[in-house]
Amino acid sequence: RMDQALLLVRNELPAPGLNLAARSGACHQCLYQFLAFVPPSNESLSKPGTASVMVDTQHPLTLQLNSSVGDRDLCKIQYHFGEFGNYSLVVKTLSTSTQTVSCDLIINEGPINSYLPILFAFLVYMGILAILIAGRLLMKIDPVRNWVYKKLNPRATDRMINSELGSPNTTESINCDPTPQSWSTGSRQRLRSLDTFRGLSLVIMVFVNYGGGKYWFFKHESWNGLTVADLVFPWFVFIMGTSIALALGSMLRWGSSKWKVLRKILWRSFVLILLGIIVVNPNYCLGPLSWDNLRIPGVLQRLGFTYLVVAALELLFTRADSGTWEGRFPALQDILPYWPQWIFILVLETIWLCLTFLLPVPDCPRGYLGPGGIGDFGKYPNCTGGAAGYIDRLLLGEKHMYQHPSLGVIYQSTMPYDPEGILGTINSIVMAFLGLQAGKITLFYKDQPKQIMSRFIIWGIVMGVISAILTKCSKEEGFIPINKNLWSISYVTTLSCFAFILLLLIYYLVDVKKWWSGAPFLYPGMNSILVYIGHQVFANYFPFKWKMQDSQSHAEHLTQNLIATTLWVVISYILYRRRIFWKI
């Protein structure tokens, strides 16, 4: 099967036989898992004992051979098997006098290169990009442009080619996909780098949700660490915070009262949470929606609650006039006037730290941050997530949580665990607040791109230094490891560091130098809620999914997932051209 290899163990030793066990390199401090019993050789017939097993190829494995009697270790081999490879492990005695045992791994049939489809897909998309760029350059040549005008409707063609990317008519709205505006007195255009950033995050999110070609690095990390899939949700939360700062300031400048804005915030938060519970609910796989198995936490639920807290916090202290601050430290005008907000966030983070490290959890060590299951040498099998998991099970109930967390495969934990649980919501609020800070920077230093970019760099460095201290630059050995399931504070600071740097690059390319229009990510970024809900609702419908010829092929899965993701980009482009934008 996909991500597996065949291993044939040949035992040339006499009785009593061997036990074969394995441990994945991705499983930190895990127990060895029994794979097979290998019978002894038949000395009279000179026939070795054999056993065949399927081994995982996603991560390096450590194989351990023990005697079935006495449990004596005979040998250990660490090896990264290749997909669809065929291997033999020959166990024999080198010297009858010393009873020295050798374990030799032989490649019977070489593995395939399962990463070639990624290279091919990259080349295809680069080819499409090159064609589009060449077409754009050709349209700047007068004879070519005139010929196109003759073939097409001149008026429509002129609008399509010569106009810059516009924006929908802005309304007094504030939501998780708000309409931030630039600060030109002559026009009210969207700050396109924000839509591009949001769209980039959303496109990656759609791709990994559809399966990411079934590659392990396009899936969520089992516990500590990061993969591509772990980047996108925090980035979406971050840019939501950025948009809140711009949209709130705009609404208040246009005369909306704070009570009116608060009603909009409450309504949109309620709608987001309701959509998450009723429409996008992964526990539907357990049967029709009912209270018995309704998953209460979720992505949209967390977005809705995070948006409510951060938007209300900003509304409480924001000013309609975002002019220069008259205080003693003008270089900190985006921070010092909002010191109550920072105190509130620090109190929230203190609550997270106290609950995480001080809350007593039955039958678990205090401050436990592990995955449970076979992790930590199987000492705490029912302690998955420590305080975070315990709070969710206590307040929500096991049936109202996510039933198939990513850690179940590697760590074999049987406990339900929700990565969008209650305790982690505190740190998602912190993440959105850091995004809010990025929005304040763009407001307070409007028309000063160098100031904006320098502050993005400073914030990125600060977040990176905090992450390095918390993690000790280690995946497993830090004070607080990077962990998406827990939404640990080091996860937030690390992803905020990446977000500030990425937003800096996009802002420079799109809004400062205007070297890039933001396409194609701009389009889904301007219709983010529609694309997110749509890709979830229609995930199992054609043309987003179809029956495969070979379901054990990364190439076919990658093709299907890329086509489905591309279709949503095309749909968002069509909606953009027709000026259709779904706002909550």
Look at residues 177, 207, 208 and name the one whose alpha carbon lies nearest to residue 194. 177
Query: Number of C-alpha atoms within 13 angstroms, CB side, residue 530?
Result: 17
Its pTM surpasses 0.75: yes
- Residues 56-78 as b/e (b if ≥16 CB within 10 A, e otherwise) read bbbeebbbbbbbeeeeeebeeee
Q: For position 498, what pLDDT does the model report?
A: 97
Q: Is the pLDDT of residue 150 over 80?
A: no
Domains along the sequence of the chain with CATH: 4-109 (2.60.40), 192-221+228-284+291-318+338-578 (no CATH)
Q: Whole-angstrom Cα distance, residue 530 to residue 275? A: 11
SS3 of residue 2 by DSSP: coil
Q: Which of 39-48, 132-141, 483-492 has the lowest mean pLDDT?
A: 39-48
CA torsion 61-62-68-74 (nearest 10°) is: 140
Segment 37-49, tens digit of pLDDT: 998 887 665 788 8
Q: Backbone phi, then psi, for 160, in 5-degree steps?
A: -70, -40
Look at residues 254, 249, 111, 237 and name the one whose alpha carbon lies nearest to residue 180. 249
Q: Whole-angstrom Cα distance, residue 49 to residue 9? A: 8
Task: Calculate the average pLDDT of the chain.
Answer: 86
Binned at pLDDT 50, 70 and 90, residue 338 comes out as confident
How far is Cα of residue 205 from the mean position of the Cα atoms in its chain? 7
* Helix, strand and coil in the chain, % to nearest 5: 50, 10, 40
**Range 301-307 average pLDDT:** 95
**Range 492-514 average pLDDT:** 95
CB 335 within 8 Å of CB 343: no
Type and span of the H or E element at 93: strand 86-95
As beta bridge partners, residue 190 has: 181
**Range 511-534 average pLDDT:** 92
Q: For position 95, what pLDDT does the model report?
A: 66
How far is Cα of residue 505 from the mean position of the Cα atoms in its chain? 20
Q: Whole-angstrom Cα distance, residue 447 to residue 195? A: 19
CB 384 within 8 Å of CB 404: no
CB 48 within 8 Å of CB 10: yes
Q: Whole-angstrom Cα distance, residue 105 to residue 89? A: 5
Order across the sheet with 18-24: list the strands: 33-38, 18-24, 61-67, 73-79
Beta strands in 111-166 (DSSP E): none
What percent of the chain is modeled with pLDDT above 70? 88
Reading the block at residue 240, the tokens are 């939501």
Order across the sheet with 49-56: list the strands: 49-56, 4-11, 86-95, 100-109
Binned at pLDDT 50, 70 and 90, residue 135 comes out as confident
Segment 65-114, tens digit of pLDDT: 988 777 778 889 999 999 999 999 998 887 665 567 888 999 999 999 99
Residues labelled as active-site residues: 220
Segment 362-415, tens digit of pLDDT: 999 999 999 999 999 999 999 999 999 999 999 999 888 888 888 888 998 888
Phi-psi region at 168: left, alpha or beta (left = phi > 0; alpha = psi -120 to 50): beta
